[in-house]
Amino acid sequence: MESRAINFGAGPSALPTSVLQEATKGLLNFNGTGMGIAEISHRSKEFTAYLQSVEQNIRKLLDIQPTHSILFTQGGGSTQFSAVVLNMLARHRLLHPQLTDEDRVLDYVVTGSWSKKAAEEARRMGGSTVNIAADSRKYSKDQKSFDNIPTADAYSFSNDPALIYYCANETVDGVEFSAEENSPASFPFQLLPRNALLPLVGDYSSSFMSRPIPHLSDHAIIYAGAQKNVGPAGLTILIVRNDCIVDVDAAARLGAIPVPICLSYKTLADHNSLYNTPPVLSIYITGLVLEYMLQLGGLDYYAGLTNRKSKKVYDVLKYGENKGIFKGKVKEGSGSQMNIVFDVIGEGLLAKFIAGAEERGMKGLKGHRSVGGVRVSIYNAVTEEETDLLISYMEQFAGQHKVNKE
């Protein structure tokens, strides 16, 4: 096999080589059917059994209780910006039919580009009042940048919102809520109303399956695009508390916004995610990745791996900052473990850094077009050895270049 590049891209991202090799077999002959996975009917007994096994392995890895359903759909996180609003407004309408649209409040915690887009989509759709419960830009130096996770005193949640939305890891901006309960950068679960049916919604696309999800059982909805840690693009995984799977048509008769049938969680749940053809190939490869993860030790293994890899990258970033070559974009303590962002200081040095990395077989390091710089995405399939190669290159680059500070 030809040498493969080291993929530090933000998504679609690296997949384990052994999984890709196994997937090629399934492309020709899926589970002994004599048909490839891209050819077989999604309603065949072989595929429906495989889909059930994928769900079971997600439950096992994340310890998901029967209170929550696992749904498989398409459209990525951006489609869920709309679907979450529609389904949760329908739920709220059924619970509180007497309220006006203005009295239905959606709380959004805005900490980066994705949560900002989610809040904008909620406003665009109407049918509610959008309350920004916290906006991290207010706490940046220029009051414009997403470079921090606000501390607990920055949040202002509504009394009875239809939903409370946050994005666990902002891929573009490189900020992430800490999984450590006592960290100033952790999500302020302690400030939320203490009842069994919190309308809490978490976008976990960029950190899904890299570590356990804090307070998972308290969430109404968790969603994640597969293309970061668990599979190829095309699959979106939903974890939905059962009370949030509601009759959206009954809600529409009471005045709620009608929900397109394929965006209705009830449609997905009632048909075991097979109302229409799901992303069969993406589900197949995701299933192979989940089996691979379980073989290696599950989320305990991956949480440790993630901690080690991210610590190494932040340590070499600090080394480069001391040399005057690198400059982190995120305040200390708020940085993502998955997507580490920084600038390369000095005229022409960013392009030189990227070019040198590509010469060494390291790809996908260019930062998002909206923020520039470098973005190092160290998703699950990026090995510690591959990360070490990047560390060595960053150390070498910082040692060879000096910035004229005069």
Cβ 325 vs Cβ 398: under 8 Å: yes
The helices-and-strands tally (H runs, E runs) of the chain is 10, 14
Q: Which of 125, 218, 107, 220 is nearest to 165 (CA)?
A: 107
Q: Is the dihedral of CA 368, 359, 395, 211 positive or negative?
A: positive
Q: Please provide the distance, in angstroms rounded to a whole number, between the alpha carbons at the two ends of the chain.
A: 50
How far apart are alpha carbons 211 and 303 in whole angstroms?
A: 5
Give SS3 for 362.
strand
How far apart are alpha carbons 182 and 171 in whole angstroms?
A: 23
pLDDT at 404: 54
Q: One digit per residue, pLDDT tens: the chain, 406 residues? A: 568 999 999 989 999 999 999 999 999 999 999 999 999 999 999 999 999 999 999 999 999 999 999 999 999 999 999 999 999 999 999 999 999 999 999 999 999 999 999 999 999 999 999 999 999 999 998 999 999 999 999 999 999 999 999 999 999 999 999 988 889 999 999 999 777 689 999 999 999 999 999 999 999 999 999 999 999 999 999 999 999 999 999 999 999 999 999 999 999 999 999 999 999 999 999 999 999 999 999 999 999 999 999 999 999 999 999 999 999 999 999 999 999 999 999 999 999 999 999 999 999 999 999 899 999 999 999 999 999 999 999 999 999 987 655 4
Neighbours of 387 (CB within 10 A): 21
pLDDT at 153: 95
pLDDT at 148: 97
Place of tokens 């809520």: 177
Place of tokens 């989610």: 118
Q: Which of 3, 116, 2, 6 is nearest to 358 (CA)?
A: 6
Give SS3 for 22.
helix
pLDDT at 406: 43
How far apart are alpha carbons 116 and 98 in whole angstroms?
A: 30
175-176 and 169-170: which strand pairing? antiparallel
Q: Write out the two tokens for 150.
A: 């606000």
How far apart are alpha carbons 192 and 199 in whole angstroms?
A: 10
Long-range contact pairs involving 394-399 (C-beta distance under 8 Å, separation at least 24): 394/313, 394/316, 394/317, 394/319, 394/320, 394/326, 395/316, 395/319, 395/320, 397/320, 397/325, 397/353, 397/356, 398/316, 398/319, 398/320, 398/323, 398/325, 398/326, 399/323
Give SS3 for 214.
coil
Helix pair 76-95, 113-125: axis angle to 10 deg: 50
Give SS3 for 270.
helix
Q: Write out the two tokens for 229.
A: 């840690």
How far apart are alpha carbons 330 and 145 in whole angstroms?
A: 9
pLDDT at 403: 65
